[in-house]
Chain A
Amino acid sequence: MQLYLPIAEVSVNAFLLLGIGGIVGFLSGMFGVGGGFLITPLLFFIGIPPAVAVATGANQVVASSVSGVLAQMRRKAVDFRMGTVLLLGGFIGSGIGIWVFARLTALGQVDLFVQLSYVLFLGLIGAMMLQESLRAWFRNRSGAPVRRSHVHTWVHGLPFKMKFRASGLYISVLPPMAVGALVGFLAAIMGVGGGFIMVPAMIYLLGMPTKVVVGTSLYQIIFVTAFTTLMHAVTNQTVDIMLAMLLIVGGVIGAQFGTRVGVRLKAEQLRILLALLVLAVAGKIALDLLLQPAELFSVTPGLLP
């Protein structure tokens, strides 16, 4: 069944969109990532204009995150206090990111910047997570004593300390704010929620327990992507509701299944799988940059400022 999308101005198969939404939603619920880093490249691939893909991808992430957070809340796995601190940082980062995005669009280098960010961040995070989670997995299997996850570092010496009961932490608000700002910045320029950075940063940098990480990350992603969607709708008018609704219907259903599966898997297994997924996406984008493209020229409608 072909469907004409009013803003993207292309006709695509409705079931293909439902399927993409479903797969991404499943992964989203399972890993606590918004899935934007998968959905945006997938939409490029089926021929949706990049600007529409980035904005609409953010809109779809809002829905799958709401669905995921509600499931996590019933398990009391959301640290609202931590989420709110992260969010404050997120808005600051997002504001800067939208300004940078506009500058780079004018220079015609936004594609390159987005691709480089994907390769750099996904590659780095993926490799770090894979290495750490594999080590933890082997340690568990060999039966060696588990090291305490909560270790005192320089992070704990910073001022403005705050108690985060759900996470069992008493740390300064500065590191979560910085993490939030970085993620907000990436959300605006990459069209992603930033869960793939947020989740490892919360585990390794802030020392939060893995159980509350997924829910808290999703909670923060709702607001950052909602802000991004609104900004794109107002400044670029590139949010396609029709496209978003199809992705969402597939996505919310997928997210519910994903959450169930995620609960059954061990934390290390979950992290290994997420790391492999992140690395695969990074590898694919790196190849696109390194290999000579079949068509050197590209045509972009619109005026240069």
Chain B
Amino acid sequence: MRRLALILSLIAAPAMAEEKIVSGLSQNRVSITADFDGSELLIYGAVKREAPIPASKLEVIVTVEGPSTPLVIRKKDRVAGIWINRERVRIDAAPSFYAVATTGPLNSILSETDNLRHRITIPRAIRAIGLTGEARESDAFVDALLRIRRDNGAYRSMQGAVQLSDETLFRTDIVLPANLTEGEYKVRLFLTRDGRVVDHQDRVIFVRKEGLERFLFNLSREQPLLYGLLALALAGLAGWGASEAFRLLRR
């Protein structure tokens, strides 16, 4: 009898576990080469479940977050007729890139509690990370950061950009801009029902400079003097070469 109960519970346990994400990325590394002009990232997946589909609507949220860097935000003021930087606010860490793609409007598919817990929307993701005391007091500065980075495409909110078919298969394309920062890009996938996160998964994409880009970047960091001399030698050679070439042409 006891054994039967155990077997029953074992069978019941996976059935009770809700829906799980099975996901894939079109690439898990992005190489920045000389002709790099941005990259399109395909994030796809399926929902694994062993119970009938619940009645409430399933929603999918995908976020991509670039490496964080410290920042200084400055505000210009008019002093003696000219506009100069006056106040400033430091931010310990803010992602260099943040995109959030969803199946629907964020405020209706995600509750505020779960947003707080998982830091999904742009303001939550940015504010939560590394604001210092001085920045907390000055909302205008953080608003300005969000505005500037939204305008130049570094922070993106793409509501409705995730396609979900039969409550099971989903996919979304996220365009990575040409001015990418090197580092680990965190991809997070969330399933929600009634605004509650039912499952989530984290993936990582590595963005790295390759080839000549890698070589020059490393040289400039590890052997700055050699790099500087190389730059000068190339400049001198080009100047001399052009001068000689034109002298020959004129003959």
B243 neighbours in A (Cβ, 8 Å): 66-67, 70-71, 252, 256
For residue B44, give the distance in angstroms from its CB to the closest CB of chain A.
26
B42 neighbours in A (Cβ, 8 Å): none
| Complex: A295 Cα to B75 Cα, angstroms | 9
For residue A171, give the distance in angstroms from its CB to the closest CB of chain B.
30
A138 neighbours in B (Cβ, 8 Å): none
Could you say which of A94-102, A143-151, A242-250 contacts chain B? A242-250
Task: Determine the main DSSP class of A at the interface with B.
Answer: helix
> Which of A11, A253, A290, A295 lies in contact with B38, CB distance below 8 A?
A11
Contact A11–B238 (Cβ < 8 Å): no
For residue A162, give the distance in angstroms from its CB to the closest CB of chain B.
28
For residue B83, give the distance in angstroms from its CB to the closest CB of chain A.
6
A65 neighbours in B (Cβ, 8 Å): 239
B157: Cβ under 8 A from any A Cβ: no
B221 neighbours in A (Cβ, 8 Å): 237
Q: A62-B232, A297-B74 are in contact. Are A237 and B220 (CB under 8 A)?
A: yes
Contact B235–A62 (Cβ < 8 Å): yes
Instruction: Give 1 or 0 for each of B212-241: 1 = CB within 8 Å of chain A CB.
Output: 111011001100110111111011101111
Contact B234–A241 (Cβ < 8 Å): yes
| Complex: A255 Cα to B224 Cα, angstroms | 29
Q: A233-B224, A237-B224, A239-B227 are in contact. Are A6 and B213 (CB under 8 A)?
A: yes
B38 neighbours in A (Cβ, 8 Å): 11
Instruction: Give 1 or 0 for each of A56-76: 1 = CB within 8 Å of chain B CB.
Output: 000110111111101100100
Contact A9–B70 (Cβ < 8 Å): no
B181 neighbours in A (Cβ, 8 Å): 9
| Complex: A245 Cα to B78 Cα, angstroms | 39
When C-beta atoms are compared, the residue in chain B nearest to A109 turns out to be B85
Contact B35–A299 (Cβ < 8 Å): no
When C-beta atoms are compared, the residue in chain A nearest to B140 turns out to be A297
B100: Cβ under 8 A from any A Cβ: no
B73: Cβ under 8 A from any A Cβ: yes
| Complex: A22 Cα to B84 Cα, angstroms | 33
> Which of B70, B78, B88, B239 lies in contact with A63, CB distance below 8 A?
B239
Could you say which of B19-27, B55-63, B144-152 contacts chain A? B144-152
Instruction: Give 1 or 0 for each of A269-302: 1 = CB within 8 Å of chain B CB.
Output: 0000000000000000000011111011111111
B106: Cβ under 8 A from any A Cβ: no
Contact A242–B216 (Cβ < 8 Å): yes
When C-beta atoms are compared, the residue in chain B nearest to A47 turns out to be B179
For residue A45, give the distance in angstroms from its CB to the closest CB of chain B.
15
A109 neighbours in B (Cβ, 8 Å): 84-85
Contact B242–A301 (Cβ < 8 Å): no
Q: A234-B228, A237-B220, A297-B73 are in contact. Are A66 and B240 (CB under 8 A)?
A: yes
Contact B37–A62 (Cβ < 8 Å): no
> Which of B34, B71, B231, B239 lies in contact with A239, CB distance below 8 A?
B231
B141 neighbours in A (Cβ, 8 Å): 297
Contact B73–A2 (Cβ < 8 Å): no
For residue A73, give the distance in angstroms from its CB to the closest CB of chain B.
9
A229 neighbours in B (Cβ, 8 Å): 228, 231-232, 235
B72: Cβ under 8 A from any A Cβ: yes
B82: Cβ under 8 A from any A Cβ: yes
| Complex: A244 Cα to B231 Cα, angstroms | 8
Instruction: Give 1 or 0 for each of A1-17: 1 = CB within 8 Å of chain B CB.
Output: 11110110111000000
A132: Cβ under 8 A from any B Cβ: no
B32 neighbours in A (Cβ, 8 Å): 4
Q: A111-B85, A237-B224, A303-B70 are in contact. Are A64 and B239 (CB under 8 A)?
A: yes
Question: Can you list 17 contacts pairing A with B, beta carbon distance less than 8 Å?
Answer: A3-B35, A4-B35, A4-B36, A6-B212, A9-B180, A10-B179, A59-B231, A62-B239, A63-B235, A67-B240, A70-B239, A233-B225, A233-B228, A239-B220, A248-B239, A255-B239, A292-B83
Given A67-B242, A234-B228, A297-B144, 5 further pairs, Cβ under 8 A: A9-B179, A62-B236, A297-B76, A298-B148, A302-B70
